[in-house]
Structure 1
Amino acid sequence: MSGQEQSADPILELASALRDLTWTVQRMEPAETAGLKALPALDVAVLKTIYERPGMSVSAAAAELTMHPNNVSAVVRKLMVEGLVKRRTTPTDKRVTELHPTAKALKNRDKISAAWSRHIADVIARLDAERREQLVSAIPAVQALVAELRSLDTPK
């Protein structure tokens, strides 16, 4: 549904607009970060998940991101080559590995986040003041929606 079309149901219209937004953001070119290689959206999503829950397994990250474990594992290998993620075996079972952000990743966390946010912030800045205020006032509702959507995918 394009921005021109109107839905009889505003909730469906909002859902469609959010889907279009996420699709567009995922396809944006990654921004270069000072001293770091540009990271695609998928790499940033995996890294952000590891930041939020250090020590999780590839399987747990895949479940959280609703991705296939092989795809997460491939991203983790790329992030390891970039020096942003390390694997550690657990003390109790050497077959189990945990994912942790490296010191480099932690040091550059804000830069990595800002590199992605900067694109969107630049576009938001071009909107008129009323639209910017509407978007800012929607932050709590969007955060609640994200939490609710994540809870649907979280194994009980």
Structure 2
Amino acid sequence: MIREVLKYPHPILKTPTQKVQDIDQEIYNLVQDMFDTMYHEEGVGLAANQIGVPLRIMVIDTTPRKDSQPLKLVLINPELVHAEGNIVYKEGCLSFPGISLEVERFSRVYLKALDLEGKEVEYTLEGFPAIVFQHELDHLEGITFIDRVKGVKRRLALEKYAKLQRAWTSSS
């Protein structure tokens, strides 16, 4: 089922999520809805709180990206174990339609999480998949990619986004 992606400044986007206690049918259904919604919106990653569910779950699928290794992950209660290197990448966000910003991230991340069967998994991600993971992990922490930008770039991005929101509101 495709769900509505919450748009900034919805308060749930600024609220840290809660750990998943039990992986049950409700979680399976939520994960399927997250993939359905992400694909519908043509995204490569989605955090549960972006669709209004304050749980520590993210889905990633970089397969559509020609410049990236194919990767499809369900990460429950993900944790960043270690990170290294730096990379700057122009990111977009389904919760900020129409905005893209250059954000500095780690170029390689080591993470652990639970998979959909409740087994602990560990991954090393590099490049684009590492960026997507960090972007979605930020969402789970109540941080948006615009929070990673400072000064005039941040102000200009927020002004552009407010202008886009006014245009959407007046056209609906």
- Quickly name the TM-score band, shorter chain normalised: under 0.3
Greater percentage in helix: 1
Greater percentage in strand: 2
Tell me the TM-score normalized by structure 1: 0.24
- When Rg is computed on C-alpha atoms for both structures, the one with the higher figure is 1
